[in-house]
Chain A
Amino acid sequence: MKAPVTWIRELVDLPDGVTTDDLARRLTALGLKLEAIERPGHDLTGPLVLGRVLTAEPEPQKNGKTINWCSVDVGDANGTGEPQGIVCGAHNFGPGDLVVVVLPGAVLPGGFAIAARKTYGHVSAGMICSASELGLPDGFGGSSDGIVVLPADAGEPGDDAFGVLPLRDEVIEFEINPDRAYALSLRGVAREAALAFDAPYADPVDRPVPAADGAGHPVVVDDPDGCPVFVTRVVSGFDPTATSPAWLQRRLQLAGMRPISLAVDVSNYVMLELGQPNHCYDADTLTGAIRVRRATAGEKLTTLDGVVRSLDAADLLIADGSGPIGIAGVMGGEATEISASTSRIVVEAAHFDPVTVFRSQKRHKLGSEASKRFERGVDPLLPLVAADRVAQLLVELGGGTVEPGTTYVGEPPAAPTIVAPADLPARISGIAIDDATTVAHLEAVGCAVTEDGTTLSVVPPSWRPDLTEPFDLVEEVVRIVGYDQVPSVLPAPGAGRGLTREQRLRRRVGRTLAGAGCVEVVSFPFTGAAALDALEIPADDERRRTVALANPLSSQEPEYTTTLLPGILAAAARNVGRGAPGVALFETGTVAFATDVAAPLLGVDRRPTDAELDALLAAVPFQPQHLAVVLGGVREPAGPWGPGRDAGWADVVEVVRGLATELGATLRVENAELAPWHPGRCARLLVVGADGTETAVGHAGELHPRIVTAHGLPARTSVAELDLDALLAATPSTPRGPSFSTYPVAKEDVALVVDVSVPAADVEAALCEGAGELLESVRLFDVYTGEGIDEGRKSLAFALRFRAVDRTLGEGEAAAARDEAVALASQRTGAVQR
């Protein structure tokens, strides 16, 4: 909402010395938020004077243009009293016209300094100004495009133009919150200004209007819920050639609206002034009575913007004998609009149901100045006075007469009575506010207040449909007392339980991975088929079960992702593209798997039952937290310590294993095949619970070389993706303190030859089981193929450590246990001791 300060001051008599900045600050403190202050014309400095054109000699030029060599009487403004010689390229004026002349030394908006200069063979000492050069609206004061030609009686040559034209003003632009629809008008802004400074306020609504007699243009309202009030007045004998006066055009322009024609400008002016949207019809295009009704599906209407709208049965229409002529509260129809020959005008001012207007506006994507006001709530008592104001202004500025009849159909909705404890504002704000202050402030905003002991019965004013409940009154009282009066007091919650275990563990995950050299990234979770195709994820993979968005920002990424890989790989490629020799990234984030369950529509007048809540939550997709890691390119740079090396599958498995160890989880790794990993270098990760049950939590390994290339990543780039929730759930909550033996250790090494296809982990598991309880640890320290080992076989060398809890192991005990271990490994995996 843009409010010209001169207009505000016309309605409220502000105390001396109140500046525009003061006004904006105080209104912001009351809830009309300052967006910006504009100062049009303040970048225009004189001399800027009126001049009368004495002569204007057209002089054709070689370039095909014709210029006018003019002499202009500027009185004594030029210091000599002699006519001023000025070259002018415009042609919409002639000798005898009163124009605006800017003299050398002046500066026009945009820092354009005026000086006498040689042009087209003359010394041009100034400029005859156009509207746009002065920052005024095009067609200002009825001039056709070009030079501003003033009415002959506007002033005398040499008069200061600033005293004649509305060149300078200040405009406060407010951001109006949805609950303060009344402030979408000068009436409302001025009322708040009066409240802010306790200043005298002249409500523009306080004017005599003729009583309704039903003799205006006939109206039938079929839907009084959608249209509680409908008023018409008629103006006849209107001069269709009359143009808007300068002040009207200027005010509309300053308020952010474009002047169009007198009738439209008047309509808009009254909307800005009072906040009541209204409409002017060409009476001669109307067919019979105006009817307010719902549309029938399939009806069509060409709206003022020239678009054919297909109407919905829920749209509330203004119609006549010819069919629809407007969507109520949203936009009028083209067929009945004011034209250049309209001389008889039907003025409409009505009150419409906010929800109906809101839905129509949304349905037709047709937000307008009218709908913006109606959907937030307009004062229902306005239609009569607004229609009269429009009619009177039309006649005042465009001639003709207001016909005596006034049609008024309907009944404005009654204001509610709000019953509230008198001390509620004090109790909710924490400010000491006595009851008398509460009553006074409620009355100051226009409420009628009745006190009954400690209870107040409050009837809000007609322009405050937002005030419906006791807490609404609290805000009114507290904003006048001042939000700056709210004291600062810390509440005293009981002892808290701190972070949850999962919250603590998630922090630890981040710290561990950062400690492993990985940098955390945060990616958008949007994805699409192309990204999943690029990872070669099969059609039946559950990672294809993405949550589709109804209104994605990008047609390439219309889904919420099931995997963090597209995002983190894009980040990796971005780093590589920007010259990073290697990347080590990690990301934790929510992924989602679609659930095609519709949520029930629940009310809000009570808590949903547990069953209702369950049904609601069933519609919410499964959304685990995932963790992804990518390592690619240089993992260890070359340096004085020796050659560097690139990341590979083992690095990412190491990072994940290290994380599990840090979290206290037992992780088992097995070979697996899954896109987008290299089929021979992919590990499935399983956490082993306390009871021995295993849960798959994700995969780690090298990306498929094809996918590495497709994503522009370094060769052998390796990634892991885990279900972090599942990993954290498997970590022991309370680790047991260890007990360990201090007796000497006995070491035994074994080398076992197996088929290359046998996983080392299987051999190790068999050794562990076979060795029995004396085994303290087993560690693979070498894998050998080549001379001495048959083709297709490999030698695995394990170091076994044995120790008893209660004694030093006797001669041969460790060797016996080792033999047991080897025997089981042989049986399970075909291992042969070397």
Chain B
Amino acid sequence: MSGPNNEYDPVQVTPLNAEEVAAARDAALAAVEAAADLEQLKQARLDHAGDRSPLALANREIGALPPQARKEAGQRVGQARGAINQALKARQEVLEAAHEEQMLVVETVDVTLPVDRHPRGARHPLTTGAERIADVFVAMGWEVAEGPVIEAEWLNFDALNLGPDHPARTMQDTFWTSPAENHVVLRTHTSPVQARSMLTRTPPIYVVCPGRVFRTDEYDATHSPMFHQVEGLAIDEGITMAHLKGTLDHFATAMFGEGITTRFRPSYFPFTEPSAEVDLVCFVCRGTAVNEDGDTCRTCRGEGWIEWGGCGVVNPRVLVACGVDPERYTGFAFGMGIDRTLMFRHGVEDLRGFFEGDVRFTTAFGTEI
């Protein structure tokens, strides 16, 4: 490889003959071709295309030549330099591509390595379940009403036609706050929210009330002193049991899928008359009472139906106590357990799983259900 001319010596460069230019060009092309990496190519560029390279120096001499020779020499040197630059560019591209290829290999990692630096969070299925229910009703134009869990006895009982001597009042095992003479209870159902809605809103009223309720039940796989209910209340002109049935059928289908509807059985609740129990077509066997293997369905115990909740036409006495004109308006109400609904929807065997706070239980449901 030829080294740079360190000193300008016109005598030495004067002879810009063809052979010398060709030799310089060939030496440059050889050096470019020989460059094994970008670093060597950089050096080759400096040596053969830099300011002190033979052809750069030769180029400067051209001006000193007689006009005749100037043109010829200019052409010759220019062509040689063009060839070198082209070779440099081509080699540059090749080496860059090779370099990138190399880097990709070097940077290769094992993507199967764990990357779970931040443990996952989750919302509770009771929360997301209540939201899902609320969304079904909000989509129908209903609103979500709320109220306190520690509630005036009058709103929890009396206003709902559960007078002080009503046998049903002892059926619901109530937590009383102390002193009992203050007449304040832990609500035994979300119905006081219905009473509050009637007392504070003007019909038409369409509200759904999810929330926590309390009964003095011992804690076991199917009972808990605290559980969750959702109740609905519709007060409007011309409301009938048919509207109740339509609403619950829609609710059932929205929660459990097409074909899952409800049936009514006569029942008794002080706040409704007529009253009904609501059953749901078993969403596991779809009412056939048998599972895929032909055995008795475990979810509905061979009934084809699952008990879901209670409902009825709002008792006119309740309307009167809550300030709604029973001559003008009728209404319906329904209620069911959220915990229970989720238990059979998700196959949860033990109610206590909801309240233990074991993260393995909650994370299994993800953040929305």
Residues of A participating in the B interface, judged by any CB pair closer than 8 Å: 28-31, 33, 177-180, 354-355, 358-359, 362, 375-376, 427-431, 469, 471-472, 474-475, 478-479, 483-484, 486-491, 493-500, 503, 507, 510-511, 513-526, 547-553, 560, 568, 570-572, 574-575, 578, 580, 582-586, 589-590, 592, 596-599, 601-602, 604-608, 613, 616-617, 619-621, 623, 636-637, 639-641
Residues of B participating in the A interface, judged by any CB pair closer than 8 Å: 113-124, 126-127, 131, 134, 138, 140-144, 146, 148-155, 158-159, 161, 163, 165-168, 170-171, 175-184, 186, 199, 204, 206, 212, 216, 218-219, 225-226, 234, 236, 239-247, 249-250, 261, 263-268, 273-277, 313, 315-317, 320-323, 330, 354-359, 362-363, 367
Q: Is the CB of B158 within 8 A of A604?
A: yes
Instruction: Give the contacting residue for A30; candidates B126, B146, B171, B266; CB below 8 A.
Output: B266
B168 nearest in chain A by CB position: A178
Q: Is the CB of A474 within 8 A of B265?
A: no
Q: Is the CB of A522 within 8 A of B249?
A: no
Q: Which residue, of A358, A495, A550, has the highest number of chain B Cβ atoms within 10 A?
A: A550
A607-B321 contact, Cβ under 8 Å, with A521-B124, A639-B114: yes
Q: Is the CB of B138 within 8 A of A606?
A: no
A519 nearest in chain B by CB position: B359
Q: Kindly state the separation between the CA atoms of A355 and B165 in the bound complex, as whole angstroms.
A: 6
Instruction: Give the contacting residue for B199; candidates A516, A552, A607, A623; CB below 8 A.
Output: A607
Instruction: Give the contacting residue for B149; candidates A428, A552, A623; CB below 8 A.
Output: A623
What's the minimum C-beta distance from A419 to chain B, rounded to whole angstroms?
Answer: 14
Q: Is the CB of B141 within 8 A of A490?
A: no
Q: Which residues of B contact A582 (CB under 8 A)?
A: 119
Q: Which residues of B contact A598 (CB under 8 A)?
A: 181-183
What's the minimum C-beta distance from B239 to chain A, rounded to whole angstroms?
Answer: 6
Q: Which residues of A contact B249 (CB under 8 A)?
A: 488
Given contacts A29-B266, A607-B323, A621-B184, 10 further A-B contacts (CB under 8 A): A429-B240, A479-B266, A491-B234, A526-B225, A547-B177, A572-B357, A575-B357, A606-B320, A619-B152, A641-B115
Q: Is the CB of B242 within 8 A of A431?
A: yes
Q: Is the CB of B355 within 8 A of A490?
A: no
Q: Is the CB of A601 within 8 A of B183?
A: yes
A427 nearest in chain B by CB position: B240
Q: Is the CB of B178 within 8 A of A549?
A: yes
A609 nearest in chain B by CB position: B323
Q: Which residues of B contact A29 (CB under 8 A)?
A: 265-266
What's the minimum C-beta distance from A494 to chain B, rounded to whole angstroms?
Answer: 6
Instruction: Give the contacting residue for B247; candidates A491, A521, A599, A620; CB below 8 A.
Output: A491
Q: Which residues of B contact A494 (CB under 8 A)?
A: 141, 204
A518 nearest in chain B by CB position: B121
Q: Which residue, of B138, B158, B163, B177, has the highest number of chain A Cβ atoms within 10 A?
A: B177
Q: Kindly state the separation between the CA atoms of A619 and B243 in the bound complex, as whole angstroms.
A: 36
Q: Kindly state the separation between the CA atoms of A572 and B320 in the bound complex, as whole angstroms.
A: 48
What's the minimum C-beta distance from B266 to chain A, rounded to whole angstroms?
Answer: 3
A430-B126 contact, Cβ under 8 Å, with A376-B167, A483-B264, A493-B142: no
B179 nearest in chain A by CB position: A550
What's the minimum C-beta distance from B33 to chain A, rounded to whole angstroms?
Answer: 44
Q: Is the CB of A177 within 8 A of B141?
A: no
Q: Which residue, of B113, B117, B219, has the highest number of chain A Cβ atoms within 10 A?
A: B117
Q: Kindly state the separation between the CA atoms of A572 and B356 in the bound complex, as whole angstroms.
A: 10
A616-B170 contact, Cβ under 8 Å, with A428-B240, A583-B359, A604-B161: no
Instruction: Give the contacting residue for B273; candidates A31, A475, A521, A592; CB below 8 A.
Output: A475
List 10 tightest A-B contacts by C-beta distance, closest first.
A571-B357, A430-B242, A607-B323, A31-B266, A430-B240, A177-B268, A475-B274, A521-B357, A514-B121, A496-B141
A-B contact pairs, 22 of them (CB 8 A): A31-B265, A31-B268, A431-B242, A471-B315, A471-B316, A478-B241, A487-B245, A491-B247, A493-B234, A493-B236, A503-B134, A510-B127, A511-B123, A511-B367, A547-B177, A550-B176, A550-B179, A560-B150, A598-B182, A599-B183, A616-B152, A620-B150
Instruction: Give the contacting residue for B274; candidates A478, A497, A613; CB below 8 A.
Output: A478
Q: Is the CB of A560 within 8 A of B177?
A: yes
Q: Kindly state the separation between the CA atoms of A597 and B175 in the bound complex, as whole angstroms.
A: 18
Instruction: Give the contacting residue for B126; candidates A522, A547, A619; CB below 8 A.
Output: A522
Q: Is the CB of A522 within 8 A of B354?
A: yes
Instruction: Give the contacting residue for A490; candidates B144, B183, B250; CB below 8 A.
Output: B250
Q: Kindly state the separation between the CA atoms of A495 and B239 in the bound complex, as whole angstroms.
A: 17
What's the minimum C-beta distance from A527 to chain B, rounded to whole angstroms?
Answer: 13
Q: Which residues of B contact A589 (CB under 8 A)?
A: 212
Q: Kindly state the separation between the CA atoms of A616 and B157 in the bound complex, as whole angstroms.
A: 13
Q: Which residues of A contact B168 (CB under 8 A)?
A: 178
Q: Kindly state the separation between the CA atoms of A524 and B268 in the bound complex, as whole angstroms.
A: 30
Instruction: Give the contacting residue for A483; candidates B142, B159, B199, B265; CB below 8 A.
Output: B265
What's the minimum C-beta distance from A350 to chain B, rounded to whole angstroms?
Answer: 19
What's the minimum C-beta distance from A94 to chain B, rounded to whole angstroms?
Answer: 49
Q: Kindly state the separation between the CA atoms of A127 and B120 in the bound complex, as whole angstroms.
A: 67
Q: Is the CB of B356 within 8 A of A597?
A: no
Instruction: Give the contacting residue for B245; candidates A488, A596, A623; CB below 8 A.
Output: A488
Instruction: Give the contacting residue for B243; candidates A33, A427, A491, A548; CB below 8 A.
Output: A491
Q: Is the CB of B167 within 8 A of A358?
A: yes
Q: Is the CB of B358 within 8 A of A493?
A: no
Q: Kindly state the separation between the CA atoms of A28 and B305 in the bound complex, as whole angstroms.
A: 14
Q: Which residues of B contact A574 (CB under 8 A)?
A: 356-358
Q: Is the CB of A516 within 8 A of B241?
A: no
Q: Kindly state the separation between the CA atoms of A570 and B141 in the bound complex, as whole angstroms.
A: 40
What's the minimum C-beta distance from A533 to chain B, rounded to whole angstroms?
Answer: 20
Q: Is the CB of A641 within 8 A of B117?
A: yes
A476 nearest in chain B by CB position: B274
Q: Is the CB of B158 within 8 A of A428?
A: no
What's the minimum C-beta distance from A643 to chain B, rounded to whole angstroms?
Answer: 11
What's the minimum C-beta distance from A547 to chain B, rounded to whole angstroms?
Answer: 5
Q: Which residue, of A429, A522, A641, has the highest number of chain B Cβ atoms within 10 A?
A: A522
A517-B167 contact, Cβ under 8 Å, with A490-B243, A571-B356: no
A550-B177 contact, Cβ under 8 Å, with A489-B246, A511-B367: yes
Q: Is the CB of A523 within 8 A of B152?
A: no
Q: Which residues of A contact B151 (CB under 8 A)?
A: 620
Q: Kindly state the separation between the CA atoms of A180 and B163 in the bound complex, as whole angstroms.
A: 18
Q: Which residues of A contact B266 (CB under 8 A)?
A: 29-31, 475, 478-479, 483
Q: Kindly state the separation between the CA atoms of A511 and B367 in the bound complex, as whole angstroms.
A: 8
Q: Which residues of B contact A488 (CB under 8 A)?
A: 242, 245-246, 249, 261
A493-B175 contact, Cβ under 8 Å, with A180-B268, A619-B184: no
Q: Is the CB of A496 within 8 A of B175?
A: no
Q: Is the CB of A471 within 8 A of B273?
A: yes
Q: Is the CB of B358 within 8 A of A490?
A: no
Q: Which residues of B contact A490 (CB under 8 A)?
A: 140, 243, 246-247, 250
Q: Is the CB of B265 within 8 A of A33?
A: yes
Q: Kindly state the separation between the CA atoms of A430 and B243 in the bound complex, as whole angstroms.
A: 8
What's the minimum C-beta distance from B341 to chain A, rounded to whole angstroms?
Answer: 15
